[in-house]
A = this chain, B = another copy of it.
Amino acid sequence: MTDFTTGLDDLAIETPSWAYGNSGTRFKVFAQRGVPRDPFEKVADAAQVHAFTGAAPTVALHIPWDRVPDYAALADHAVDHGVRLGAINANVFQDDDYMLGSVTNPDPKVRRKAVDHLLECVDIMDLTGSRDLKLWFSDGTNYPGQDDIRARQDRLSEALTEVYARLGDDQRLLLEYKLFEPAFYTTDVPDWGTSFLHCVALGPKAVVCVDTGHHAPGTNIEFIVALLLRAGRLGAFDFNSRFYADDDLMVGAADPFQLFRIMFEVVSGGGLDPATGVAFMLDQCHNIEPKIQGQIRSVMNAQEATAKALLVDAAALKAAQAEGDVLGANAVLMDAYNTDVRPLLAGWRESRGLDGDPIAAYKASGYFEKIVAERVGGTQAGWGA
């Protein structure tokens, strides 16, 4: 097991540029005040999260939402604000061409367009120095018979193979899965098994991305985490929480005990060690809550779950498990979970020169009032912008 302080030091959470823009449901996107109007403002907001938590050193980009003429300038801008650019998220779901799919579309012209976009994303990675290409495909069908399930898998495989071949030696392809939405009958990568199958076929640079909100009801996510770590194919997390479907609430908000169990598998499987390459990212929609505060709270929730996981008495746990002591083993785990780790985390922050209470410090900083005043005019960033 990792040492407590080392574990917290190792936990780097990437925040997504799109979390700072407006988001919503199909029913309504509510506009908030002070929302960024371009990628530079998004990066500035992300830098605030790191400034107050010390645990969010990188920011993920979404292409084309974050397309800029000069990626080096954006990277410099990030460094100037104390953060770095992270994963590149491809987007092949918001052109009218993609109505029936992108890389699995029955029309080869649309597939070509989609693959070209993915290749462009690798070009951008070369410019930004990003390690990870994150691929989520909204591809699927809405009606039985609409398309051929196996043919779509063949097309998917063909597209992934071409993109994989384009990766540099230090670059990775993260293949995300999702049960449903926006496709409502089949989704072409609906579960970890499908993602794993394709990653194994591709090679060692292809790894699975686990979005904690993308599973069927009742799915045991920490089990999947343990399996993928064991198989060397856990590439990344997209963190968020949900009560129903892909609700994209703040991670830890809906089921903090589940987040703890997930982080316990990460910790005990060695996944906090940077050498394993597991990336921790947020992917959330702050539809009704302030966005920067929502990100800060999410980072704190992830830290609290990790801190509790680090407190588990591994030797006592192993002993109880070996004896078949069901209640004893469970009690060892719960003992860590029931601990109030907030003082420990405040201490960790203060030892790094940060305020023990990131939310209060952020609120006191006046940053929110400043951006509300400054960001007048222009078009607010949001889904698709």
Contacts and interface: CB of A to CB of B under 8 A. Distances in A.
Interface in A217-252: 217-220, 222-224, 226-227, 229-231, 242-245, 247, 249-250
A94 B27 contact: yes
Contacts of A250: 143
A367 interface: no
Contact of A340 (B187, B245, B329, B338): B338
Interface stretch (A70-78, A167-175, A253-261): A253-261
B26 A24 contact: yes
Contact of A304 (B107, B145, B338): B338
A75 to B, nearest CB: 28
A24 to B, nearest CB: 7
A275 interface: no
Interface in A151-204: 151, 153-154, 179-182, 184-187, 190-194, 196-197, 200
Contact of A143 (B23, B143, B147, B330): B330
A289 B293 CA distance: 40
Given A243-B180, A244-B181, A30 B99 contact: yes
A55 interface: no
A99 B255 contact: no
A265 interface: yes
Interface residues of A, number: 106
Interface in A93-120: 93-94, 96, 98-100, 106-107
A318 B192 contact: no
Contacts of A373: none
Interface string A265-293: 10011000000000000000001111001
Contact of A149 (B153, B222, B333): B222
B96 A31 contact: yes
B265 A149 contact: yes
B340 A145 contact: no
Given A27-B138, A218-B243, A222-B149, A227 B194 contact: yes
Contacts of A190: 220, 223
Contacts of A288: 99-100, 142, 326
A353 interface: no
B327 A28 contact: no
A329 B290 CA distance: 13
Contacts of A149: 222-223, 226-227, 265
14 contacts: A27-B93, A28-B138, A28-B182, A99-B288, A145-B329, A145-B333, A146-B330, A147-B329, A149-B223, A149-B227, A187-B220, A196-B197, A218-B243, A255-B255
Interface of A: 23-28, 30-31, 93-94, 96, 98-100, 106-107, 138, 142-151, 153-154, 179-182, 184-187, 190-194, 196-197, 200, 215-220, 222-224, 226-227, 229-231, 242-245, 247, 249-250, 253-257, 261, 265, 268-269, 287-290, 293-294, 297, 304, 317-318, 320-324, 326-327, 329-334, 337-340, 342, 359, 383-384
Q: 5 tightest A-B contacts by CB? A: A193-B193, A145-B333, A216-B216, A25-B182, A217-B217
Given A149-B226, A194-B227, 4 more contacts: A144-B261, A145-B331, A145-B334, A146-B329
